[in-house]
Amino acid sequence: MSNGKAKAYTNIALIKYWGKQDEDLIIPSNSSLSLTLDAFYTITNVSFSKNNQKDRFYLNKQLQNNQQSKKVYQFLDLVRKKAQTDLFAEVTSYNHVPTAAGLASSASGMAALAGACNEALRLNLSNEELSALARRGSGSACRSIFGGFVEWEKGNSDSSSLAHQIESNHWEDQLAMIFILVNDRPKTISSRLGMQQTVKTSSYFPIWVKEAEKDLIIAKNAIAYQDFEALGKVSEANALKMHATTLACEPPFSYWSPDSLRAMDEVRTLRQQGFSCYFTMDAGPNVKVLCQKNDAPAILQELQKEFLPSQLIIANAGPEIEFLERNVSR
Ligand code: DP6
């Protein structure tokens, strides 16, 4: 039997990944940039053994059915091929997400699974190679291998599409992200499906790809100069451009709910009042507010006038993947 255990933190993109050039290998159409966060993470243990009759996946102590386990099983097939083994695995995952947050994260989940498999099967992958492997489970997972600011270079092959940390002199430690959890969630379209529809049908998609590459350069410069206003501005604009692509789909769709609009409006109002903060949104209705750590308490206090305390969570920059234990016996 061989065991591996890893802990990976989630990440939120400031310059979004939206659209794939290769669906099977999960190679994106544009490079992206994210901030790894400390508040949400996944701990995963995987054990390969000849005693296992088939793969099993437990999430927060619940055995998942085949549909819920599909991506995990596909990932296990991939690593078995890489490690040239036919042993089945038991995967036990804990998602540490504050209750009712509705923030199930494929990024931290797939990164932790990749890390646990790397340990269990002694694949001896470097973190960059591990990031390319995690990408095969879910694109954004490749960025969760690293801490702080992370760039995912799109590349053009399985081995060249991977993430690395952006040197920032620990500037990320001065930043914070406040999550506004929106209750009235509309029926969600997964990011996988949403980006598929966008690539296939959105007339704005080619423009998005060009804009995202330009925004990435601006964001990297902002990080290099530790210019918060420039980073916030380009992040917010980039998120809006990503969401604009979905409105131009056939049929059109949107991840926004009335409360998302209310939250975005609140951030704009706070900015007019002199608070330095910017929003971003992913494939769901929650709104995330980027600000400087020193300003976070005051901004939180303002947001509490509009939203319940239980809807607001502060996260700080998070670390890279951690390998927790290795245990191989025969
Ligand atoms: C909007 O990584 O969940 O959060 O690669 O199909 O599994 P798949 O998609 P996923 O997409 C994340 C999209 C996003 C933007 C981002 O994180 O960059």
pLDDT in tens, 70-82: 999 999 999 999 9
| Distance, CA of 318 to CA of 301 (rounded, Å) | 23
- What separation in Å is there between the alpha carbon of 128 and the centre of ligand 1? 19
Mutation pick for ligand 1 pocket among 140, 143, 193, 286 (CB with most ligand atoms within 8 Å):
140
pLDDT in the model for residue 185: 62
Alpha-carbon radius of gyration of the chain: 19
C-beta of 262 in contact with ligand 1 (< 6 A): no
Q: Is any atom of ligand 1 closer than 6 Å to the C-beta of 71?
A: no
Report pLDDT for 330: 44
- The confidence score (pLDDT) of residue 31 equals 98
Predicted local confidence at residue 97, as pLDDT: 78
- CA–centroid distance, 25 to ligand 1, in Å, is 14
Buried b (16+ CB within 10 A) or exposed e, 29-49: bbbbbbbbbebbbbbbbbbbe
pLDDT of residue 106: 85
Q: Which pTM does this prediction carry?
A: 0.96
CA distances from 235 to 211, 242, 297 (A): 12, 11, 21
- The residues facing 292 across adjacent strands are 175
Closest residue to atom 6 of ligand 1, CA basis: 192
pLDDT of residue 100: 47
Residue 238: name the closest of 194, 288, 273 by CA.
Answer: 288
What's the gap in Å between 224 CA and the centre of ligand 1? 25
Q: In terms of DSSP H, where are the helices of 248-295? A: 258-272
Please give the pLDDT value at position 188.
Answer: 78
pLDDT tens across the length of the chain (330 residues): 899 999 999 999 999 999 999 999 999 999 999 999 999 999 999 999 999 999 999 999 999 999 999 999 999 999 999 999 999 999 999 999 764 455 667 899 999 999 999 999 999 999 999 999 999 999 999 999 999 999 999 999 999 999 999 999 999 999 999 999 986 565 579 899 999 999 999 999 999 999 999 999 999 999 999 999 999 999 999 999 999 999 999 999 999 999 999 999 999 999 999 999 999 999 999 999 999 999 999 999 999 999 999 899 999 999 999 999 766 554
Say how many Å lie between the CA of residue 327 and the centre of ligand 1: 32
Given the CA of residue 135, which atom of ligand 1 is nearest to it?
5
CA distance 26 to 62: 28
